Amino acid sequence: ITEELDSVEKELSVILVRQKASSPEENWNGRFAWYEKMRKESPFTFDEEAKCWDVFSYDDIETITKNKEVFSSERPIEGERNILNLDPPRHTQLRALVSKAFTPRELALWKPRIEQITESLITELGAKAEFDLIRDLAYPLPVIVIADILGVPESDRESFKHWSDILVASPKASTPEAFAAFRKTRSESIAQMTDYFLHIIRKRQANPQSDLISVLVEAEIDGQKLTESEIQSFCGLLLAAGNETTTNLIGNTMYALLESPSRYEQLRKVPSLIPSAIEEGLRYRSPVQAIARVAKEDFDFGGNKVKAGQELILWIGSANRDETHFPHADQFLMERTPKNHLSFGKGIHFCLGAPLARMEGQIAFEHLVKRYPSLHLADSFQLNPIVSGFVYGLKSLALTAN
Ligand code: HEM
């Protein structure tokens, strides 16, 4: 996990420079102009500074994600690999095992709990006229849900939330000392969290329950089981891959709805549009803007000579604005139902948590439109984007409820 987060931070400054954005605020919208320019002028291009290929068009990204023989997910990392950064055959085996914990049956079992958690978070807001959608709902919801699904007991929730907070935090100051201190705290928290997972794994081995860790402990294919360290690593991946992304799905979609308030009004009147609004939110303001692959062998991509070992950054946030697949791509059209967006990836690594994320989004919006017939950006609202090239979302979203 640390490895992944560090590489994101390292690439961050490079990415802001590459997108020619002077600030995160400018980058929030400005990145789409950059994508458009690149799609027109240079859709498959080698960046000499970042030493990687940038891929912007829908069709090229789709081709690459489908060609797993050449374009590998096994980028160099330290430590235990998890399914996200493994190729077949190991990926196929592990994915089959962990998929057992994400079946429609499991999902149906989680639904009432997600309803309950959402309801209690909204009840906690009470009669507040102003609240922060991220702090008060979009952030805690997926963290509590995943803790619940994993089987973290109520009494350990505070520590769990604390580790999770640190995992997604960014350094407050940019001095080398502050950055070193920040990294130290983060490594310590990750170590504590991984130890904690091991503690639950061992408990569930001895005494299985009905939670996800028990399913993972017991899952078996051809007599083969997951090792303890594979389960630990997978739990870490669920936290890293599932929480901030779902927060941003809710936050980004709400922001798109309130940028033009008649959209929220329409959704309130016709709640059956919620699934379609969520898909459009995923397309229009994709929580994950880019994924990466590495070439295993030399490959001639329409005259572009990709060499073995070179990395490719696939800008799915750009593919989702590609006019050849989405007419009027720069407009948020709630009725569009863009099932073919690439926000959850494509091919063998297609997001395992997509149905869960969709369900959480659906339940959150159902409760919000019911509880708040009128919702606006608060006067105190300030655009406060997460500083990242890959992760796309808002750190806060101040709303007024009347
Ligand atoms: C993979 C996005 C929520 C678990 C992926 C990938 C994307 C993605 C783009 C593919 C990465 C690649 O091909 O390199 C998202 C978004 C989410 C979300 C936008 C929310 C809106 C979740 C949730 C979970 C989850 C809630 C689990 C609790 C995973 C896992 C993988 C994955 C395990 C790896 C699958 C594999 O490699 O076979 N996700 N994700 N994600 N996601 Fe999600």
Between the CA of 209 and the centroid of ligand 1 the distance, in Å, is 25
Give the residue, by CA position, lying nearest to ligand 1 atom 42.
351
- pLDDT above 70: percentage of residues in the chain: 92
ipTM over 0.95: yes
Q: What is the pLDDT of residues 16-42, one digit of tens each?
A: 656 666 777 888 998 999 999 999 999
Between the CA of 352 and the centroid of ligand 1 the distance, in Å, is 6
pLDDT at 171: 62
DSSP 46-108: EETTTTEEEE--HHHHHHHHH-TTTEES----SS---GGG--TTHHHHHHHHHHGGGSHHHHH
In sequence order, the 6+-apart residues with CB closer than 8 A to the CB of 387 are: 12, 24, 170
Residue 150 CB less than 6 A away from ligand 1: no
Residue 114 CB less than 6 A away from ligand 1: no
Between the CA of 343 and the centroid of ligand 1 the distance, in Å, is 9
pLDDT at residue 126 tops 60: yes
Q: What's the half-sphere exposure (Cβ side, CA atoms, 13 Å) at 3? A: 12
Residue 328, sorted as left (phi over 0), alpha (psi -120 to 50) or beta, turns out to be left
Mean pLDDT of 109-136: 94
**Coil/strand/helix, residue 175:** coil
Atom of ligand 1 at shortest range from CA of 316:
9
Atom of ligand 1 at shortest range from CA of 361:
21
pLDDT at residue 15 tops 90: no
Atom of ligand 1 at shortest range from CA of 291:
14
Between the CA of 351 and the centroid of ligand 1 the distance, in Å, is 4
Average pLDDT, the chain: 89
pLDDT at residue 235 tops 60: yes
pLDDT at 224: 85
Between the CA of 175 and the centroid of ligand 1 the distance, in Å, is 32
Mean pLDDT of 215-237: 88
**Of 4-8, 264-268, 269-273, 304-308, minimum mean pLDDT range:** 4-8
pLDDT at 170: 65
Atom of ligand 1 at shortest range from CA of 286:
19
Q: Is residue 330 a contact partner of residue 321, using CB atoms and an 8 Å limit?
A: yes
Between the CA of 98 and the centroid of ligand 1 the distance, in Å, is 13
pLDDT at residue 386 tops 70: yes
Ligand 1: which of 71, 233, 351, 359 to mutate, most ligand atoms within 8 Å of CB? 351
Between the CA of 279 and the centroid of ligand 1 the distance, in Å, is 15
pLDDT at residue 201 tops 70: yes
pLDDT at 267: 96
Strand order in the sheet with 376-377: 130-132, 398-400, 376-377
Residue 249 CB less than 6 A away from ligand 1: yes
Give the residue, by CA position, lying nearest to ligand 1 atom 21.
246
Predicted TM-score of the model (pTM) = 0.93
Q: Is residue 348 a contact partner of residue 95, using CB atoms and an 8 Å limit?
A: yes
Give the residue, by CA position, lying nearest to ligand 1 atom 6.
351
pLDDT at 221: 79
Atom of ligand 1 at shortest range from CA of 146:
28
Cα 45–chain centre separation: 25
In sequence order, the 6+-apart residues with CB closer than 8 A to the CB of 190 are: 1, 2, 163, 167, 236
Mean pLDDT of 75-99: 88
Higher pLDDT, 239 or 377: 377
pLDDT at residue 6 tops 60: no
**pLDDT grade for 88, boundaries at 50, 70 and 90:** very high
